[in-house]
Structure 1
Amino acid sequence: GTHQVRVQVKACGLNPLDFKLLSDMGIQRDLIPVGREVAGVVLQVGPKVSFFQPEDEVVGILPLDSPCSGLCDIIDIDEHYLVQKPEKLSSVCVAGALRDGLCAYTALHTHARMAAGHTLLVMDGASSFGLMCIQLACYHGVKVLTTSHSPQTHTFLEKLRPSVGLSRLDVYTRVISMANGSLDLLPVVLEETGGLGVDIVIDSGVRLQEEDESEEIKLLPHKHDIISVLGVGGHWVTCNQELQLDPPDCRLLHLKSACLSFLNPEVWTASSAQQGRYLHILKDIVEKMSAGILRPQPEEAVPRYEATVAMETVQHQQKKKAVVQL
């Protein structure tokens, strides 16, 4: 194609498919592309391609309606979905972490307008997405509080403290255990913020009801807890696309002049309105990963013949992900 590049895929990341989103977008097909986070090498370029040359290493995310999957040896993709990959960054590392990096940037920069001196609460900081949020916020001088769901994740987050944020060791301050539900959340947050509450909350799912819920859901904070820990003018970024707020919740948000944003990581490739900003974000993510500012948890790559099993696991356990090396 005129603006397309032909890429030999080296690695791709597997993430859960959102069938409801595909339906809403009007994408009704028998075959849905998986492994859309790709890293590879340019083989050929179209006549009007200006960003890349053959043998360039590239990384990007295939659009929702892509005709091909990232699990192909060779794919043709529009140049405006790709950025250059730094040499010292491995294909497996960037394919596994690109989506989480994009989500962290969207939540903190695009939605919450993060700035130095803000206070941030990241729910479930040991998740791959939570880890990216913590590292990105510390780099920008934001004071970070986070929660853990088990003794193992609590220890991991405590050990993370000396290395995160490079020279800004004072900004990553407290890990709050959620093993007993969210009983400790409000008092600890108020203690850490001098009773003012936090400027930004990023959740990894919330409870909408108090009773009759599984053990896994009981570890999530209730929506009222999150609104309670927000400070005046605070910003809540939620990953829960089915969030419902009752009039008392809205009243509390109104009293705090706080706002709520929904995090949809697909919005960048589903709309061409801010293509330049999207490419700038992708470029910044790979540069920060290359410089060691963002250090994702390493994902063990699986060979292509295990991709089907890996994709089934990822689809049924929504917080899991996998990287396939080709």
Structure 2
Amino acid sequence: MVSSTLTRAIEGLEGGESLSADQCRDAIRAILDGGLQDLEVERFLAALHRKGETAEELHGAVLAVRERMIPFDPGSAGGPCLDTCGTGGDGAHTVNISTATAAVVASCGVRVVKHGNRAASGSSGSSDVLGRLGVAIDPDTPALHRCLEEIGLVFLFAPRFHPGLRGVAEIRRRLPHRTIFNLVGPLCNPASPTHQLMGVPSEEHAATMAGALARAGHIRRAVVVHGSDGLDEVTLDGPTRVLVVEAGAVRGVSWSPEDFGLPRTPAAALRVEGPDESADRLRRLFAGEGGPVRAVVLANAAAALWAVEGGSLVDLVARAAAAIDSGSVARRVGRWAELTGGER
């Protein structure tokens, strides 16, 4: 079976035309509803990738995916909560910076609802390293709520909350390039967080993701970052290009290592071979070890805190450092493992 909606969308895309948000939403709906020929789905995803996704198209895709997701209620009467999920795809194979950032920020008193998956393009995805740290990635829902209530930190494993995406998993694996679904993931946190720090691998992606975030009704402020060295995090090896999303508008700023009061740190010093090495380096960080991992995690934690609260980046670095050095982060990660029933 071939959907006429999908056929029209493919014809437009292959002709170089962009889709409206409604057109893209309807095409993604047709794909997620199943029953289509794999070849047509592949043609659609490839044509969209070749043309380059617009913020409008991405917003439409997000609407279709969010319609089918299983929501997670973060509670606390609408108080702020943060996600640190990014797109990945920088190919730098670094230690899990966003996962460490989530633990540090939660230890600074900001609730974090981390959305994530297994590694897509790097050496170690969020769920991979959390498993090595003893945190069970897919406990039952009551355990997830206990995590958020007791330690202000929870991980939502994407496949559990987005069962509608299972039908396109094999098609995505067959394609030799990323698809719009790689961009949709960080925009579809089941908890609908009020704030987000999102790392992206290119300026083009930054603009598209920021445009989609500006259209998301649940976002109060989001910060999209791209390192000038190609890192999809706040970098300390040069300037970080930043897009701030607030009140439906997007503005650009730039952060340098000096803005954080931190030393220059090359991305090569953050490289790991896989989740075991990443987890080892994070344990050493949480135990108070200095060096490049600490510096970059402090910068990203300060950026995440800034997304929620604003203020001086230097002061926010000091606050994050105090959380690590007091042992709060290590204790929180240990308790996280206990609450989820993981193995330490």
TM-score, structure 2 normalization: 0.27
Higher strand proportion (structure 1 or 2): 1
Higher helix proportion (structure 1 or 2): 2
